[in-house]
Structure 1
């Protein structure tokens, strides 16, 4: 694949800029987004290669913005005629509108990841061999293992963003992920554990045994823990969250509410609360798209704006929102590099990148010791969130009952129920053990999915509702 997406289309910048200039005349903003992408996924399940898929696509999306509305048209046809037809559709939104076209975003020489192709390298046979080794390792390590599922996925996206004045921004984005799931059985009872890792890098760092064995060991550890788990209690408990991946609760219950579009429209629980106390003292939440090789990082966003480290909440005070270009203009703010889209077939919108809470000064042991009767939630699975209210329900995949400061037993079926704005104010202790997640996050919004990162230290939150079948 060429390193320049424009070369995969049957026109060049000089051909298309007159079309864009006519399309954007009288508009407030807009761009032509070009994308070429390849992806590959392999799943090794129950001792054999269960599936292998490869996908290649190419297309463009043309957006014209007028006030609070935009016209969008996309096509997989790589011709100039297709762009002209798309322009007729997208430009309809500006009828009766007399805007001034916004200048293009500033450029950047920063590179957060290398222009590698994880689909082309390493070879297919090497990837299959890796999955076979993981399967054999898990089965050999513990006789209780009855099933192993290992998967590997890689992708490379090349994008170009062209504006009416001929300004062009490009980015080459690799993305990889390795997952291991293990099922164990004892006395007729089966339980499962899983672990994964990934980022914007080549596969080489995960193919070495010292990289993938810890993932297999972690999946096996969680499965063993779940074999001993008892039904989770139901009621209101103080809860200690583990570091790293449990920040998915922060991402869903708080992060979406800090995206610019929800606040501009007044549908977020945080709308109109800028400069107000929205969280406990000591709570600082950041969205940072500039972390090297992280899953949620981007050199530029999908509008061409360089990503930033945006402080959203500082010491409990709401200080910022995540913005794309359109919402930033309408709110009188500046773009923060959070304009993201799933592919050329989707318009951009404000989205998170890597969202995390900074560390405090408490020890995790201190938090656990402070629980008279509580829950220690180490890992999370799926969840549901209402953006307007911030209400959430999250299922724990690894959790423990704590009594009188002692971890007494693992529990299964625990769900955490609450709302993000209230949970933020009930944070009593913030740990000194900050971690980012291992690189497995994906975020959905308005039918679009994008890779993201999350992170946090251990946290103690008082008075969360726990759903469970035990007592």
Structure 2
């Protein structure tokens, strides 16, 4: 069957042309594979081609200790039959191996229905990030110079900085999706991340500090405000700060979360519970609550995959759909979930373009992109002044969440006491313990200083990791449990 005639936008064609010229793929081969995938019955089938080139560099003790470059190429073939999924993948893109993988997926998901392969339909692909001159094409010496600058800046910050590690990871990911429903899309996705880790020591204490950032950017991003020196000084500052920190108090108290990265708490405590597959299986604390009040009326949360250059942004998701801005919670009311093709069909809800996968070796599932709380009307200074005694959490380390009940535990990597409306001593060992849906009901003030994180987020789900973004303005929670060893 010949593909439907189309006149694609030039940038759409360019993304696909690489697969045709470098890997020898053809539209006719796509049609044969999809036909084979549906040969045992099924509602839907798709092909996901991926080619990734990556570089990873690391410096430790002033010496370049890690340097790696990699190339990964393959195809994942999926067949859906009702709620059953058949999936197979191959790193050999010869027609024989592709057709064999298609037959394997077909047998796993065999069903009574047989879906006819439709003609492919081109769709306009946005361009949210640059491609030309991406850092994978830069000389290794240029990248090594960047991490050497970070090493020098961190050591120069304070003589108590005793150890520095810096690294740069970047990749160029090309994808092409062809599906039996006519979906036909491709994208070329850059991603870069700079990391700095330091250890500081004095006569009594040892402390650690980390910083980093990046996004879907070219290498010259690190020549601006977000330079190696910026990240190095920030890592060193937080480590030195911790040397003089007092033990965090324990108990229930008022908590103020700073703007930007503290949005990771929102991502974990609320975001995962709003992914459609958990709600379809009724394993989320938010199942069946659309239209109901789940947070303070001051809280509005969105997931937005269309912000240019952001780490979590995508021109198209891994099912070939354009990403979008999705309102999840509006003035405290739950408005919807993040969905992919399977969830939207089974739940009878719109597809939000949230189908994501770690690689061609994994199936897509509903995932977040950039998830954040919108601005409120409060001045951040007034928020601090309103607290008699509490905790001001500026940055977070690790955390754990149980999406079935929303319970979470997070460790604060930078936090301070608030006493009589003023930020005072830095504290160490602070953890925040609570329940996501319940915590949001205690939000009493929302600042007007929305910020997104620096570009370091990686989200894990069902063994798959994908890059994401988080953010929030300064907010006040009237009640939250703080774990610590102080008084």
The alignment's TM-score, normalised by the length of structure 1, stands at: 0.96
The equivalences for 1:4-83 within 5 A come to: 4-24=18-38, 26-83=41-98
2:462 counterpart residue number: 446
Worse-matched range after superposition: 390-399 or 217-226: 217-226
- The counterpart of 2:166, out of the listed 122, 144, 150, is 150
Q: Residues 102, 465 of structure 1: CA spacing in aligned structure 2 closer, same or farther, 3 A cutoff?
A: farther
- The counterpart of 1:290, out of the listed 306, 315, 326, is 306
Q: Residues 18, 165 of structure 1: CA spacing in aligned structure 2 closer, same or farther, 3 A cutoff?
A: farther
- Alignment partners' CA distance in 2, 1:101 and 1:164: 7
1:166 Cα offset (Å): 6.5
- Alignment partners' CA distance in 1, 2:297 and 2:182: 47
* Conserved 8 A contact 1:253-1:419: yes
- The counterpart of 1:90, out of the listed 102, 105, 112, is 105
The runs of 4+ residues in structure 1 deviating greater than 4 Å are: 99-106
SS at match of 1:111: coil
Q: Residues 447, 68 of structure 1: CA spacing in aligned structure 2 closer, same or farther, 3 A cutoff?
A: same
Q: Residues 190, 98 of structure 1: CA spacing in aligned structure 2 closer, same or farther, 3 A cutoff?
A: same
Q: Residues 394, 192 of structure 1: CA spacing in aligned structure 2 closer, same or farther, 3 A cutoff?
A: same
* Conserved 8 A contact 1:66-1:99: no
- Alignment partners' CA distance in 1, 2:226 and 2:131: 25
1:347 counterpart residue number: 363
SS at match of 1:333: coil
1:325 counterpart residue number: 341
- Alignment partners' CA distance in 1, 2:482 and 2:226: 37
- The counterpart of 1:161, out of the listed 177, 180, 194, is 177
Q: Residues 37, 2 of structure 1: CA spacing in aligned structure 2 closer, same or farther, 3 A cutoff?
A: farther
- Alignment partners' CA distance in 1, 2:354 and 2:117: 17
- Alignment partners' CA distance in 2, 1:101 and 1:464: 55
1:232 Cα offset (Å): 0.9
Worse-matched range after superposition: 204-213 or 76-85: 204-213
Q: Residues 282, 105 of structure 1: CA spacing in aligned structure 2 closer, same or farther, 3 A cutoff?
A: farther
Worse-matched range after superposition: 269-278 or 77-86: 77-86
1:357 counterpart residue number: 373
- Alignment partners' CA distance in 1, 2:64 and 2:438: 47
1:336 counterpart residue number: 352
2:144 counterpart residue number: 128
Root-mean-square deviation (CA, aligned residues, Å) is: 1.9
Residue 184, structure 1, aligned to residue 200, structure 2:
yes
SS at match of 1:245: coil
1:252 counterpart residue number: 268
- Alignment partners' CA distance in 2, 1:350 and 1:279: 22
1:462 Cα offset (Å): 2.0
- Alignment partners' CA distance in 2, 1:75 and 1:367: 54
1:397 counterpart residue number: 413
Report Cα offsets for 1:335-377 as digits up to 9, x if no partner.
Answer: 1110000000000000000001001011222111121221000
Report Cα offsets for 1:191-234 as digits up to 9, x if no partner.
Answer: 12111110001111204587332222211221121111111111
SS at match of 2:218: coil
Report Cα offsets for 1:384-429 as digits up to 9, x if no partner.
Answer: 0001111000000000111221222111011100010101111111
Worse-matched range after superposition: 325-334 or 184-193: 184-193
2:6 counterpart residue number: none
Count of residues in Structure 1 that have an aligned counterpart in Structure 2? 471
Report Cα offsets for 1:101-139 as digits up to 9, x if no partner.
Answer: 697787223111122464533210111112112212222
- Alignment partners' CA distance in 2, 1:105 and 1:307: 17
- Alignment partners' CA distance in 2, 1:407 and 1:208: 30
2:432 counterpart residue number: 416
2:285 counterpart residue number: 269
SS at match of 1:138: helix
* Conserved 8 A contact 1:40-1:54: yes
1:434 Cα offset (Å): 0.4
* Conserved 8 A contact 1:9-1:79: no
SS at match of 2:381: helix
* Conserved 8 A contact 1:379-1:396: yes
1:143 Cα offset (Å): 1.7
